[in-house]
């Protein structure tokens, strides 16, 4: 039986890894010629990816650390785990709103300093606690408006939770899915532009992927639209915010604080920035959920060719027909590809038992179960068709 070497980068939860049958999958960090890479935030952009590679699985949501388009062009699906860490991020965003609203970060520093630096104790400490607390007086959430940019798995949870805490919630997402729309509280008002959202929000939170269209989307012009004393929360990716513009607005007093998960040299030491060490998905529950989902999707692809939750190919799932041989074929999305594939199968005298083809963007993927043996020569003939990117015989 074929075995599949899987290289892990980053710490992947053992709850997920233990689902990989070691008689079929060889799993480790030092793996030569891996068939698959399983990772979290490791940067694959500058890594030379081996010719042996069939798939990449991201135990998490964001795939900006992976050269997704380059891999699509090679017929390599990149899986992620939508929603698997959404609750963990939602809870951190709510914590971030409270950290900012009640000035908790500086308040805790203040009391630590009273004891650790000033050496106060007993009645002196109590006196200074009461004398100093007024500088940390904050604001309450009910009645304030939160703007949520990106109403996907995380944005919807954040919007609903904020709404239940008494905030007025506005949401903006030009491509909101039907599933997300069903999950969204009817009290969340969807607005039609980032500009409208910012001009009406005391606090704004970002839940979009980092792609060309979202890079730097919170810039100086847009920050200027926010009311005085606004709060920006960024648990998406550092690059969606022009941090220099945010810092300028913090320094001028226009913004109250910037809470984020992506420390930079400037942000980490700024008194109005609360920078956490990329903690959004760092709960045991989220790490387990992501690893289980990534592992299951990856194993199903390696063993059966099924694609679920790839960011660069459509979902294609087909139950295996006993006694047949399966082919998984990636091709450019252009006319007459299916005709040429089925013609090659017919010319080889193979009867098609099941066939599924779906396209997404520039590419398409076919799963086909045929009655009889698929010779290597047939695979080579299919690969020789112009527009075919990869063809894989998937043993039962
Ligand atoms: N801090 C962390 O540890 C952490 C954890 C998980 C996810 N994330 C980040 O959060 C992002 C979102 O995660 P998710 O699970 O909600 O993803 P998701 O795919 O479920 O949702 C993203 C949403 O953003 C929307 N969107 C895209 N471009 C937009 C734009 N220009 N304006 C408004 N909306 C836009 C999409 O339509 C989609 O609904 C991830 O891509 C990742 O970068 C960070
Ligand atoms: O793996 C992590 O810790 C972070 C993952 C997170 O950034 C994501 O995009 O899902």
Atom of ligand 2 nearest to the CA of 84: 10
Nearest-CA residue for atom 4 of ligand 2: 281
Ligand 2 centroid, distance to 21 Cα (angstroms): 25
**CATH class of the structural domain 1-85+283-313:** alpha beta
Which pairs from 167-173 meet CB under 8 Å and 24+ separation?
Answer: 167/141, 167/142, 167/143, 167/203, 168/143, 168/144, 169/145, 170/145, 170/146, 170/196, 170/197, 170/200, 170/201, 171/147, 171/197, 172/147, 172/148, 172/196, 172/197, 173/149
- Mutating to test ligand 1, I would choose from 80, 208, 233, 279 the residue with most ligand atoms within 8 A of its C-beta, which is 208
The response to whether residue 60 sits with its C-beta less than 6 Å from ligand 2 reads yes
Rounded to two decimals, what is the model's pTM? 0.96
- Look at residue 2 in the predicted model and tell me its pLDDT: 78
- Sheet with 388-394: list strands edge to edge: 351-360, 363-371, 324-332, 388-394
281 lines ligand 1 (CB under 6 A): yes
Q: How far apart are CA 264 and CA 154, in angstroms?
A: 23
The response to whether residue 281 sits with its C-beta less than 6 Å from ligand 2 reads: yes
Judge contact between 73 and 137, C-beta under 8 A: no
Give per-residue pLDDT as tens, 156-215: 999 999 999 999 999 999 999 999 999 999 999 999 999 999 999 999 999 999 999 999
Mean per-residue pLDDT of the chain: 97
- Domain 314-396 belongs to what topology? Alpha-Beta Plaits (3.30.70)
Q: Does domain 86-94+139-275 have CATH number 3.40.50.720?
A: yes
Which segments in the chain show pLDDT lower than 50?
A: none
pLDDT tens string 210-240: 999 999 999 999 999 999 999 999 999 999 9
Domain boundaries, the chain: 1-85+283-313, 86-94+139-275, 104-137, 314-396
Establish whether residue 152 lines the binding site of ligand 2, counting it when its CB lies within 6 angstroms of any ligand atom.
no
Ligand 1 centroid, distance to 292 Cα (angstroms) = 20
* 61 Cβ inside 6 Å of ligand 2: yes
Is the shortest distance between the CB of 305 and ligand 2 below 6 Å?
no
ipTM of the modeled complex: 0.99
Name the phi and psi angles at 226, rounded to 5: -70, 150
Provide the pLDDT for residue 396: 80
> Identical fold at 86-94+139-275 and 314-396?
no
Active site residue ranges = 237, 265, 278
Q: Which residue has the least CA distance to atom 9 on ligand 2?
A: 62
């Amino acid at each position: 039986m074929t075995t599949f070497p899987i290289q892990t980068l980053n710490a992947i939860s053992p709850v997920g890894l233990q689902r990989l049958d070691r008689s079929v999958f060889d799993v480790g960090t030092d793996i030569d010629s891996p068939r698959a890479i399983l990772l979290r935030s490791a940067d694959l952009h500058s890594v030379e990816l081996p010719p042996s590679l069939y798939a990449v699985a991201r135990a998490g949501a964001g795939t900006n650390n992976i050269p997704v388009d380059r891999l699509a062009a090679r017929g390599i699906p990149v899986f992620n785990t939508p929603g698997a860490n959404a609750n963990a991020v939602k809870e951190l965003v709510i914590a971030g709103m409270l950290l900012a609203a009640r000035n908790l970060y500086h308040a805790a520093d203040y009391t630590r300093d009273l004891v650790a630096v000033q050496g106060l104790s007993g009645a002196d400490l109590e006196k200074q606690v009461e004398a100093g607390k007024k500088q940390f007086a904050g604001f309450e959430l009910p009645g304030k408006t939160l703007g949520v940019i990106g109403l996907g798995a995380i944005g919807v949870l954040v919007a609903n939770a904020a709404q239940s805490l008494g905030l007025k919630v506005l949401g903006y997402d030009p491509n909101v899915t039907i599933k997300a729309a069903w999950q969204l509280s009817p009290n969340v008002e969807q607005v039609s532009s980032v500009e409208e959202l910012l001009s009406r929000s005391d606090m704004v939170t970002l839940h979009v992927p980092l792609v060309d269209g979202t890079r730097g989307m919170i810039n100086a012009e847009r920050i200027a639209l926010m009311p005085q004393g606004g709060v920006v929360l960024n648990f998406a990716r550092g690059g969606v915010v022009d941090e220099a513009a945010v810092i300028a607005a913090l320094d001028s007093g226009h913004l109250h604080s910037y809470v984020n998960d992506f420390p930079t040299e400037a942000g980490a030491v700024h008194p109005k920035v609360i920078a956490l060490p990329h903690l959004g998905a760092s709960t045991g529950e989220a790490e387990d959920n992501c690893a289980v989902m990534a592992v299951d999707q990856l194993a199903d692809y390696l063993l059966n060719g099924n694609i679920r939750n790839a960011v660069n190919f459509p979902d294609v799932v087909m139950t295996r027909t006993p006694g047949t041989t399966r082919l998984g074929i990636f091709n450019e999305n252009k006319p007459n590809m299916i005709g040429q594939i089925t013609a090659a199968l017919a010319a080889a005298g193979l009867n098609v038992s099941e066939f599924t083809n779906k396209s997404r963007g520039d590419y398409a993927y076919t799963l086909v179960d045929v009655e009889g043996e698929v010779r290597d020569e047939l695979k080579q003939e299919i690969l020789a068709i112009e527009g075919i990117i990869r063809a894989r015989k998937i043993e039962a």
